[in-house]
Structure formats: structure tokens, C-alpha cells
């Protein structure tokens, strides 16, 4: 119980720290909202080291964690999300040279807190598989064409499920 409380307070501190660093970058002076949003997302991407993970490694992590077999409307809890992020970052560190290793725990904590703050505003501790896959596929590195193919495959699966339900 005490450990969970200290973990939550650490998560709140990390989230506050990320938002304070973002404010220090002064992105709010950018007039066009699309550019402002893009700059903020790029900041989060670089701060969480997601620019080092390409879309194909992200898809591989989804398969390794059994997310390809789950329904896109299924909900996963935060502990499962943390496990998925751990596998992504530990695989990344295996591919990086020893001189360019990242702080895995810090990256996991920052990204986990950002995702929970973005998608889990009601605080039930869950988010849909589709939301998680979409965010990670968008925020990772790689060519935009590959990301669009990845998202199209997510959407086609969802679209097929909807069509089957109505038939």
C-alpha cells in the first residue's frame, strides 16, 4: 500500500517535470495550433526516446506481447502497458551501441505517465488497445508511409469487425 502510494507520487512528479520542461521550451508562443501541437509532440517523442524506435520494431513488440490477437476495443491496464513499454525499450537498448544506451526506467516512466495523462483522464487505470497502438505507432520513428500503412492495418481490422457485426 505504501509502495503504491510512493509510486503514484513519483509518477505525478515525473508528469509535472515533463510538463514544466515543455513550458520552459516556450512552445506556446507558436501561433498556429498545428505547429504548436507538432512541436510539443516532437518534444515528448525525443524526451521519451521514441524517435529511436522505428515502426517495424514497434509492430514486432505488439506481436511479442500478443496485442495482435486482442480486439482493438479491449482494454488493457496500466501494468500491462508498462510491460509492453519495458519490452520496447529493452529491445531498443539491445540494438543500440553501448555508447548510446538510454535510461530505460526513465523513458518508461515518462512515456507511461504521458500516455496515462492523455488517454486515461477518468483514472480507471485502463486504455483501449487501439488507442495505445495508435499513439505508439504515431510517436515512434520511421517513414510516414510506413506509419500510415501500420495505421491503415489497424483501421481495416476495426472496419472489418464493424462490418461483420452488421452482417
Distance CA 23, CA 90 (A): 29
* Mean of all residue pLDDT scores within the chain: 80
* Predicted local distance difference test score (pLDDT) of residue 59: 86
pLDDT in tens, 55-64: 888 888 988 9
Q: If you ran DSSP here, which 8-state letter would residue 75 be given?
A: E
Q: Are 116 and 78 in contact (CB under 8 A)?
A: yes
Domain extent for 107: 3-165
Q: What is the pLDDT of residue 5?
A: 54
CATH number for 159: 1.10.238.10
Give the pLDDT score at 7: 57
Residue 12 main-chain phi, psi, to 5 deg: -65, -40
Q: Do 93 and 104 touch, CB atoms closer than 8 A? A: yes
Give the H or E element holding residue 77. strand 75-77
Q: Using a CB cutoff of 8 Å and minimum separation of 24, what contacts does 38-45 make?
A: 41/139, 44/18, 44/114, 44/139, 45/139
Q: How many domains does the chain have?
A: 1
Side-chain-facing half-sphere of 96: CA atoms under 13 Å: 18
Hey, is 25 helix, strand or coil? coil
What confidence tens digit (pLDDT) does each residue in 59-107 have? 889 889 988 888 888 889 989 999 999 999 999 999 989 888 999 999 9
Amino acid at each position: 500500500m505504501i509502495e503504491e502510494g510512493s509510486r503514484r507520487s513519483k509518477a505525478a512528479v515525473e508528469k509535472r517535470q515533463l510538463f514544466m520542461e515543455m513550458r520552459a521550451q516556450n512552445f506556446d508562443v507558436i501561433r498556429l495550433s498545428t505547429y504548436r501541437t507538432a512541436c510539443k509532440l516532437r518534444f515528448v517523442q525525443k524526451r521519451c526516446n521514441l524517435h529511436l524506435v522505428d515502426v517495424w520494431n514497434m509492430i514486432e513488440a505488439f506481436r511479442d506481447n500478443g496485442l495482435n490477437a486482442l480486439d482493438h476495443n479491449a482494454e488493457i491496464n496500466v501494468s500491462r502497458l508498462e510491460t509492453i513499454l519495458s519490452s520496447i525499450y529493452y529491445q531498443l537498448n539491445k540494438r543500440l551501441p553501448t555508447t548510446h544506451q538510454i535510461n530505460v526506467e526513465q523513458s518508461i516512466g515518462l512515456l507511461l505517465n504521458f500516455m496515462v495523462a492523455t488517454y486515461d483522464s477518468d483514472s480507471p487505470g485502463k486504455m483501449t488497445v487501439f488507442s495505445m497502438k495508435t499513439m505508439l505507432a504515431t510517436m515512434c520513428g520511421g517513414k510516414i508511409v510506413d506509419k500510415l500503412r501500420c495505421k491503415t492495418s489497424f483501421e481495416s481490422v476495426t472496419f472489418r469487425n464493424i462490418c461483420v457485426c452488421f452482417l
